[in-house]
Copies of this chain bind each other. A is one copy, B any other.
Amino acid sequence: MSMTISDLHAFLKDAFPQVADDFAIEDMTQDTMRVRLRVTDKHLRPGGTVSGPSIFALADVGLYLMILSRLGPVALAVTTNCSVDFMRKPKAATDLIADTRLLKLGRVLAVGDVLIRSEGDEKPVARASLTYSIPPNG
């Protein structure tokens, strides 16, 4: 791996200061990463449900960081496709936990998927798959 969890947190803070504090990498292996969305008011819909765009953002950031950890901070992977199945209502005002898998890291495309659940609950809230385009000399 080209970047550690600390490297990735520092990169997030530098490149995406508005949202860096929302995310925390909790665990990382060669092919998987666990990322937490620290749920605050801005992520909630009336009634306390975490919003769809927040779930989308968690899936996207999770796999983006995973690709970064392998390619290093020079890489500027660009999301080209994201497909999300929303399966259950998230628990009210509870952090979300995303488990990401990198399924392919090719020369021009990277593909992975993400399973998202509310902390303290095993049943998945959402499932997402994403594709990233990797620029040449990325």
Q: A57-B52, A104-B88 are in contact. Are A83 and B133 (CB under 8 A)?
A: no
The contact string, 1 if C-beta is below 8 Å from chain B, for chain A 70-102, is: 000000001111111111100000000000000
Q: In the complex, A88 Cα to B107 Cα: how many Å? A: 12
Judge whether B16 and A46 touch: CB under 8 Å.
Answer: yes
Count chain A residues whose beta carbon lies closer than 8 angstroms to a beta carbon of B: 39
Q: In the complex, A103 Cα to B124 Cα: how many Å? A: 7
Judge whether A127 and B103 touch: CB under 8 Å.
Answer: yes
A53 within 8 A of B: yes
Provide the residues of chain B in CB contact with A127, threshold 8 Å.
Answer: 103, 111, 113, 129
Q: A15-B46, A53-B54, A60-B52 are in contact. Are A109 and B133 (CB under 8 A)?
A: yes
A-B pairs with beta carbons under 8 Å apart, 5 shown: A18-B42, A80-B87, A81-B81, A88-B104, A127-B129
